[in-house]
Amino acid sequence: MATKSFNSFEMAQRQFDHVAELLDLDLGSKDLLRNPLREYAFAVPTRMDDGTVKVFRGYRVQHNDARGPCKGGLRFHPMETLDTVRALAMWMTWKCAVVDIPLGGGKGGVICDPHNLSAGEQERICRGFVRQMGRNMGPHTDIPAPDVMTSAQHMLWMLDEFEAIHGSKQPGFITGKPVGVGGSQGRTEATGFGVVFTIREALKELDIRASDTTASVQGFGNVAQYAIRLYQQLGGTVTCVSCWDQEAQSSYAFRKKGGIDLGELLSVTDRFGGIQKEEACKLGYEALPGDAWLEQDVDILIPSALEHQITDENVDRISRHVKIIAEGANGPTSPDADKTIRERGIFLIPDLLANAGGVTCSYFEQVQCNMNYFWEKDEVLGKLDVKMTTAFIAVSELAKKRKMYMRDAAYVIAVDRVVHACHDRGWI
């Protein structure tokens, strides 16, 4: 989340400005793309279980829709800000473009803490959000999806409200729905699996066998859990994971040098990805400070939590053993820290490429809803693998051809595609 000392949107704009110089963009293109096309801020009055009414603040930002309808998640988070949503919407534009799916970038959020809300209160917030935004969202304009602390159930409540308002069945309005009610097989696994598909390709380039590598992961939510699962299936060993402890209001890292047991940890994990400290220690895990994930002597770091986690203040704590950083989260690395990572020669797989599996599979879900024909999981994940691998190869080849940093190469491809779409439409 954005804070007084860190602003996600300023970081996103800095990244764009750097690439705009590389592409030598004209002033009109820069002015159009460094800010959102549209943004909404509104109240979501909600009847609480005790009968009182509480007003929550909601946001939806539509950064750019030149390549297709806006696409992006909805977060429930107590520290949500409009600038954070602006940044995430911009990153979604580049993410859709780099994997070459016909969508633009959007993002939304509500300032609330689901830990302290009943299921009924969360449902009423979801329905209230749609009542506020239903005229400005839809299957052909702006398609939401789950994000931090929202789930398939939240999406279904929102879909139900949207369909009630419009008096018709429109499953393509929202993605990340439960399978059987318009959801896609493989959507739950998609983001985490996508991260590992890119790691697999990076290891091929570096001529390293996955079975010879170790990894440390920040976060233990949906993305991290499925990334760990597929990485372990490839033969890799995860020695450390970190998570947020809601009860203690602190983060912890859990280490087992011989490798974590995913099923074992999941048995002591809550629905928000919080690992129960005492129970994990009973299982033989060493509990460390939350930021200890960053300094482990591993081959691969996978930040899969929130923005601004690797900064100029802690980047020097990254072990000299680390060869790859795969950004499972959005914007986890500050520009100053990024400079250090680049200088050290660490192979970085940038967020707009590494974690694009989620939006790619969301696109697949949208296509299936529009056709009213749904694919089996193997087909979905096979298509996802093809998309992610193709995008990785394109970014990697440009990076090698022009001797560019991987992040720069990914941004050049993405921004160039969006600029061309805006130009072809006559916007610039």
Domains (ranges, CATH) in the chain? Answer: 36-171 (3.40.50.10860), 188-354 (3.40.50.720)
Condensed to tens digits (0 to 9), the pLDDT of residues 243-290 reads 987 766 788 999 998 999 999 999 999 888 889 898 999 999 999 999
Cα-based distances in Å from 65 to 15, 299, 352? 20, 38, 17
Q: Is residue 197 pLDDT above 60, yes or no? A: yes
Q: Which of 95, 327, 341 is nearest to 227 (CA)?
A: 327
- Enzyme catalytic residues: 107
CB within 8 Å of 74: residues ≥ 6 apart: 107, 108, 109, 110, 129, 144, 145, 146, 147, 150, 154, 158
* Torsion sign across C-alpha atoms 257, 262, 264, 270: positive
CA 226 vs CA 97, 297, 421: distances in Å: 24, 22, 34
Task: Quote the DSSP letter at residue 333.
Answer: B
Instruction: Give pLDDT tens digits for 293-315.
Output: 999 999 999 999 988 899 999 99
Q: What is the pLDDT of residues 96-133, one digit of tens each?
A: 999 999 999 999 999 999 999 999 999 999 999 999 99
Q: What is the DSSP string of 226-263?
A: HHHHHHHHTT-EEEEEEEEETTTTEEEEEE-TT---HH
> Are the beta carbons of 255 and 239 closer than 8 angstroms?
yes
Angle at 38 between CA 152 and CA 154, to 5 degrees: 10
What pLDDT is attached to residue 48? 98
Q: What is the DSSP letter of 190?
A: H
> Residue 251: how many CA atoms within 13 Å on its side-chain side?
17
- Compute how many other C-beta atoms are within 10 angstroms of the C-beta atom of residue 160: 16
Q: What CA–CA distance (Å, rounded) separates 68 from 66? A: 6
